[in-house]
Structure 1
Amino acid sequence: MNYNQPAGPGPPGRPLTVADVLALPVLSAGRPQVVTGSTRLDRPVRWVHITELTDPASFLKGGELVLTTGMPLPDEPAGVRRYVDELADIGAAALVIELVRRYHRPPEALVQACRTRGLPLVTLTEDVNFLEVTQVVHTLILGNQADAMRRTQRIHEAFTALTLRGAGPEDVLRAAAEMSGHTVVLENLVHQALICEPSGGTAETALTDWERRSRATPPADRTGRSGPEGWLVASVEYQGEGWGRVAMLPAPTGTSTSTASPVFGSEDVTVLERTAMALTIARLIHTTPWERTAHRNALRDLAEQRHRSPADARARVAALGLPTENACFIAVLADIPTAEDTAKTEARLPEELRTTGTKALVGRLAPTRLGILLALRPSQPWRPAVEQVSRAAHGVAPGATLCVGSPAPALADVARSFREAARVAEATGPGRPLPAERSFHERSDIGLRRLLFALRDDTRIQDYAERQLGRLIDHDTRHGTDLLSILRQYLDAAGNKTVAARASGLSRETVYQRLRTIERILDCDLESGEQRTELHVALSALDVLRAR
């Protein structure tokens, strides 16, 4: 295997490897050939050691690239094997032999011994200045170490700055993912992924089947790799006790970016350790439970369709413990009179639902509005489930108003269900009476008056009411009459003058006379069903506008 590659010490932040050293001009001039261990050239080189001793291992500590002319090699195969065994046992990175002075081809015993022990054996067919090799490589190693120290210092400074400005967990994980080039996930003790910052992949890739994969990854006493996927994990504490952990995931298979590597380096460990420390401090600063924040963010993302893809949405929601397969979803909005009661309801409602086995996400969407997403079996009736939620909410906040959207057969339809619930809420004024045997409002409750209430801020509604009734209201104001009331009673009686007279306590002749006056003022025909409808709509709009 010829090794005449362009010069270069390798990417910054990665230890110098055997392959990197062989690619340096000072060694490539010797026309290096890898005889054994070609798959192990990624071994890090800690130092370079020139030796002509028969027992070089006694002067090594591991990780050295050993350079020799072959002069000290024993003649007998047993001695060669012993020589190689000592190098392999101490952890030498590779053995480089110059085939210029004693040998012109590597001894077969040496080749077999190196192959048996998995020690990379490299031959040089041209004369090389070993002293120059050590100078170049040691300069690179020391330079890399200095660079590593500077990068580590920058990591510490970055996380210190985050802590000093009171950064939340999302900011901390985002910084960790950017610094490491790896996906970083924060989970609690029951293996719910609360925050995921993908890097080099998607949330779907990182979070699919999260709970099972997480439970297969045992906790570690200190920051280190764990589990079948080789996650790098660190514990996060709260008030001296374990609260959860943060996991850094290996790069997805097939990733070939320079920032993502399937192997974690020392800097990744430093990043994760500082991430865990910053999260521990942030947990003390930010008193709102992070599970609650995770639910809020998930609900907002679903309601506003802010996910990168439906698959990402499913993965994130499933990682929070909500079923996403074989489920039907119902969006509920709970409007609560005060922010204080809203906070209490947000804290207690999930506990109430857990005791009944109801799967739901609960989170505050506005100061006095909660969003609730129920996950039900497709065959499960949804109204009893919403009724149960409504009773639980009213138990905490008796003045709550709950509005529900129509069922969503898939998570991708949840935004529509939330929009419908919001429209019901817009059309439901304070203290609006509920249908019998129901403690929540739904779309079928929206009639004309509710529709006009929802549209009350539209200037076209205001203009319509004024055009239809303004002249009559002005007449009543100037003359002290009450023709608007007579018109209302007439329209409520569906145009029956006798019923209108009875409701007003006036004689039929008086009612007839006043209706003619109304027709004159409004320039209309009250015998026309269409015009009566127009006036009735205008009166309903006026009632809504006056009730503001």
Structure 2
Amino acid sequence: MLPTLRQVLAMPSFKAAAIEVLAGDVDTAVVRWVHSSEVYEMGGLLSGGEVLLTTGLGLHGRSPEQLTAYIDQLADAGCVALAMEVGRSFLTAPPELVEASRRRGLAFLALHAVVPFERMVEDFHDLMLRRTLGSAQAGEPVWQELLSLVVAGQGMTALLDKVSRLAGCGVDLLDADGRTVERSTTGAERSETERTIHDVRGPTNSLGRLVLCGPATTRRTAVANCAAVAVALELGRHGDLGPRQSLAQSVITDVVGGVLTSHGDLSERLTAAGWTPLSEGHHVLVAAVDIDRQTPVRELADQVRDAVRAVLGSCVVGTAANHVIVLAHGWASASPARVRTAFTEADELLRRGPGGSAVRTLGVATPVEDLSGVGAAVAQAREVVQIARRFGTRTGVILARDVGVQRLLAAGTTPASLSSFVTEQLGSLIAYDTAHSADLVRTLDAYLAHRGGKARTADFLGIRRQSLYARLTRIEKLMGVSLDDPAQVVCLGLALTAWRMRTGLDPQAAFERLPG
């Protein structure tokens, strides 16, 4: 069982840091790992459950909007706490960070004493190692009892009853859609508010959840760990007892897993799931809805389905990781404008409904005419929202063509060649900005984004046109390029995109800028 934030804060290195909790609930936040970084756009590099340690160096000089966006990116990635040293980069905790953390349910910790971050990470690693070994030792007798029932073929009810007696509470087995498949019959007490929940994993995906209806204890957690494996084995022996995915979810699971690829097989499975066959020449529209990692994705599947049906009619919806996957009917002429309009309408409906605040981007693949292309389209739609998350995009509809350059760079180049290209095109500019806390990378990015419009670029940067002219001249001299040469401008634009893909940094907020 993963520790709560309160348990992590009780470790010696954290206690030595004189931590003040300014936002968040340390009793409900569950910690998967402790990490340190000064990178501004760290959100795109996290996978959820982290305590992020920082001195605030990467945040110094940021605007209030950028500080708020930083917290939003961390929360979107599932980070549970931001721990910042105060007295170094910031004399006090920035109120924008504290307020944004309260709004997003992220714990904000002020560290008033200097403790090496490496020691905190090592302490957490030792804590997890001790807990893992302790759980294994506590669970050995439990495992033997449960395994003996599976080997003897006593059945699922007998297995759940044994789990109930070992855990001292009622036990429920839920399927992948959250429906109750079977319950223990021991009559043990059932808590209506506290649960110990463990995922039941099959060879390739989740089979459902095992719910122990009582508060989590060391004993109960050890029982749940062993019981989840025993239940998975029992489900494998008796398929008729297993939790059932909906037909729609089953199709999506197999498409994402690459199991379902042929036109005929997919057509048969989709029809069984309620899909109306396509008219001749019509397209399939495929989309992936990215859900905030702090929200269980299954909770949004029905809302996504209802929103898409209201606009496009018949559709099949399922989940994969933190994405809701949509297969919908298109038209004979599926122009980008028409596709964008339809999904924008569905996106607006979705955001107005329950749970709409957890919806991030909606990525749409290039429409396909043949069902055999659905698998590749699903992969493409998921790639679109992953690119959007990497670039810090938090909302809106994005078509595959909108991020065509990023997809091309990701698919057609190795990391080494991409790095070499960035160094060749931007190396001197990045080095200058790093050494002088200058704004040349930011200026070039804004200039290209405004298609060479100097008046609009100057307004965007908040500087006089004469200052912009001086910066552009310095850029040309440093890199030996002409910003009037279309070919060189294209290369620079590609290099900025590649740099952002490689680093996760926004050129508008990548370098610390000196005041004045």
Q: TM-score, normalised by structure 1?
A: 0.40
Q: For the pair shown, which has the larger CA radius of gyration, 1 or 2?
A: 1
TM-score, L = length of structure 2? 0.42
Q: Which has the higher contact order (CA 8 A, sep 6+)?
A: 2
